[in-house]
Amino acid sequence: MIVAEIKKKENVVEYIIYLKQVQDIIRANNFDINKIDRLIISKYQVDPKTENQIKEWYSDFILSMKSEKLEKSGDIDTIRNLTDELNKIHLALLSDENNYKHQELYRWAKPNIEEYKKISRQGSDNEIEIAINALYGLLLLRLQKKEISVETIEAMQTFSNLLAHIALVYHKLHPEG
């Protein structure tokens, strides 16, 4: 089973962040499947059949990005659709007065979402998209070995807690992943 399938089954938020990372990898490698094969796919220690499946998955991803005209920026439909669905779940949980856990998680995350939206200049009102983008930004900072403030880590933890709760509900609604 390839990484994307595993992430999709286990945690939809991690899956979305993984797809965002793949988009950036594809753009950084100028949509060149041979370059991606040399740098990434060939590093997987898998049997040839699985390696071909991974290469095919990347090739299909490249085609999707090109057909959706996402060569420079933007997210593929899969990411946008999943993020929208997670936001619908979030809004439904918020409207459920008996869902104290979600209310509390949101109460902790909301000021951080608003602050991140301001500093990142995101035009979206989809709070789940904002939180996911923030966590992806944190991943990029960590990959670049940049220093991350305690305040940022604490804010990101509120996003992570909120998104983990929503992901659990998502997986209850979609047990197949």
Q: Are residues 82 and 169 in the same domain?
A: yes
| Crossing angle of the two packed helices 150-173 and 127-143, in degrees rounded to 10 | 120
pLDDT beyond 70 at 1: no
Considering the domain boundaries, does residue 99 fall inside one? yes
pLDDT over threshold 90, residue 84: yes
Q: Are residues 46 and 84 in the same domain?
A: no
Q: 42, 67, 92 — which closes off a domain?
A: 67
Task: Tell which residue, 122, 25, 17, 128, has the closest CA to residue 78.
Answer: 17
Q: What share of the chain is helix, strand, coil (3-state, %, to 5)?
A: 75, 0, 25
Tell me if 72 is assigned to some domain. no
Q: Is residue 107 in some structural domain?
A: yes
The owner of tokens 């659990």 is 168
Task: Say yes or no: 82 and 166 in one domain.
Answer: yes
Contact 31, 62 (CB under 8 A): yes
Last residue of a domain, one of 27, 45, 67: 67
Q: How many domains does the chain have?
A: 2
What digits encode the pLDDT tens for the residues 9-42?
A: 899 999 999 999 999 999 999 999 999 999 999 9
Check whether residue 143 and residue 162 sit in a common domain.
yes
Whether 42 and 82 share a structural domain = no
For residue 46, what are its two tokens? 């898998």
pLDDT beyond 80 at 101: yes
pLDDT value at 97 more than 70: yes
Looking at residue 15, its pLDDT comes to: 96
Cα separation, 167 vs 13, in Å, equals: 6
Q: Which residues contact 176 (CB under 8 A, 6 or more apart)?
A: 9
Q: What is the pLDDT of residue 137?
A: 94
Domain that holds residue 89: 77-173
Domain assignment present for 7: yes
Average pLDDT, the chain: 94
Q: Is 149 among the domain residues?
A: yes
Please tell me whether residues 41 and 115 are part of one structural domain.
Answer: no
Q: CB of 86 within 8 A of CB of 80?
A: no
**pTM, full prediction:** 0.92
Q: Could you read off the pLDDT of 35-73 as tens digits, one per residue?
A: 999 999 999 899 999 999 999 999 999 999 999 999 999
Task: Please indicate whether residue 2 or residue 111 has the higher confidence score (pLDDT).
Answer: 111
What's the pLDDT at 121?
80
SS (H, E, C) 31-96: CCHHHHHHHCHHHCCCCHHHHHHHHHHHHHHHHHHHHCCCCCCCCCHHHHHHHHHHHHHHHHHHHC
Q: How many CB atoms lie within 10 A of CB 135?
A: 20
The reported pLDDT for the residue numbered 6 is 84
pLDDT for 48:
93
